[in-house]
Amino acid sequence: MSESDNLEELGREAIARVADAAKSSELDAIDTQYLGRKGALTLQLRKIGSLVPEQRKGFGQAVNDLKEEIQAAIRARREAIAGGETDARLAGEALDVTMPGRFYQIGRPHILAQTLSRIKDIFIRLGYDIVESPEVESYHYNFEALNYPLDHPAIDEQMSFYVTEDRLLRTHTTAYQHRQMEKRKPPIMVCTMGKCYRVEAVDATHGHTFHQVDCFCVDHGITMADLKGTLYQFAVEMFGPDTNVRFRPDFFPFVEPGAEVAVTCSICAGKGCNVCKGSGWLELAGAGMIHPNVLEGAGIDSEEYTGFAFGFGIERMPMVQHGIDDLRLFLDNDLRFLRQL
């Protein structure tokens, strides 16, 4: 077979392979095999030197013509394949505008933040001013100004987090009370809320960091009836209209008389369950009439003015409302728990 016959056979083979190519990568391989630096047509050109002079020009022209033919075939086939690949890609990326949109998960306030917000709203509607108070408090405002005796167990360094000899992390939000009495003149209706700290062994019902709400009112003729009415109104708004409120005598250094306030257990509706230990009641707050020593210490005449005060823990409320039996869940940042609330 002559060199011209070999060249024709090579051309037919290359054109046939181009026509059968289904992918751009296959065309790249054909281009390299036939037209590359070491391709079949390049090797044909190297044979020109071995031909007789009369055949060289014609053979070289034939190789160049075939090269152009193969290049043109590859370009045409590449355009056809590219159109099909583009159509396939666009079909895969097509957007069905009739399908429903994606629902992205959004954040929401923590359950304790929700509870604080609800409590704040209730007391604002009852006429109380909401104020901020420092978490690092002085011994004077945290204990001394609230009529704590020097031998009270809460004052012990083993019970409170002292920062210096005279400053500590507040053990209750009641520490703000004397500060407000120094700044204001009766009538006073003030409420604060925030974190408190006590040395406690952490378990399902106790924590070293917790949240409290504390409110007090000072004016002419304030009585226990006003205190009971306020707490009853709060309980109804917070827990529902079927809630009952119970007062029992209790002792706190800064009130006299003092009372333990309980509300109907919302889990069992007062019938008795494990949460309320069968009593049908859940302790809500410590409360009472502000002790005359506290009023006099702030420069308020206890013969002219009287007042009441109460404070309660925040965590207990969502625990009761949602049947949560472990205090630690609020601060564990477990998404399985948080997403339920």
pLDDT digits (tens, 9 = 90+) for 68-120: 888 888 788 777 777 666 666 767 777 777 878 777 777 888 889 999 999 99
- Structural element, H or E, at residue 197: strand 188-197
| Each residue's pLDDT tens digit, 168-209 | 999 999 999 999 999 899 999 999 999 999 988 887 777 888
pLDDT score at 307: 95
Closest Cα to residue 276, out of 246, 256, 300?
246
Q: Are 194 and 211 in contact (CB under 8 A)?
A: yes
Closest Cα to residue 228, out of 248, 213, 252?
248
| Inter-helix orientation angle 24-35/3-20, to 10° | 170
Residue 144 tokens, joined: 């001394």
Which CATH number, 3.30.499.10, 3.30.420.80, 3.30.930.10, 3.30.70.120, labels domain 111-338?
3.30.930.10
The answer to whether the peptide bond before residue 109 is cis (omega within 30 degrees of 0) is no
Closest Cα to residue 218, out of 243, 242, 253, 183?
183
* Residue 49: Cβ-neighbour burial (10 angstroms; 0-12, 13-18, 19+): exposed
CA angle 178, 179, 184 (to 5 degrees): 95
CA count, 13 A, side-chain hemisphere, 174: 26
pLDDT score at 262: 86
CA angle 234, 238, 241 (to 5 degrees): 85
Positions of the chain with pLDDT under 50: none
pLDDT score at 3: 62
What is residue 319's three-state secondary structure? helix
Closest Cα to residue 122, out of 211, 245, 188, 213?
213
Q: Are 263 and 228 in contact (CB under 8 A)?
A: no
Task: Give the C-alpha separation, 245 to 9, whole Å.
Answer: 104
Q: Are 29 and 72 in contact (CB under 8 A)?
A: no
For the chain, the domains span 3-93, 111-338
Q: Are 192 and 214 in contact (CB under 8 A)?
A: yes
Strands 255-264 and 281-290: antiparallel
Q: Which residues fall within 8 angstroms of residue 17, CB to CB, at 6 or more apart?
A: 30
pLDDT score at 222: 95
**Which contacts (CB < 8 Å, 24+ apart) does range 245-254 have?**
245/284, 246/281, 247/287, 250/286, 250/288, 252/286, 252/288, 253/146, 253/147, 253/148, 253/149, 253/152, 253/291, 254/146, 254/147, 254/148, 254/174, 254/177, 254/290, 254/291, 254/294, 254/309
Task: Give the C-alpha separation, 83 to 22, whole Å.
Answer: 12
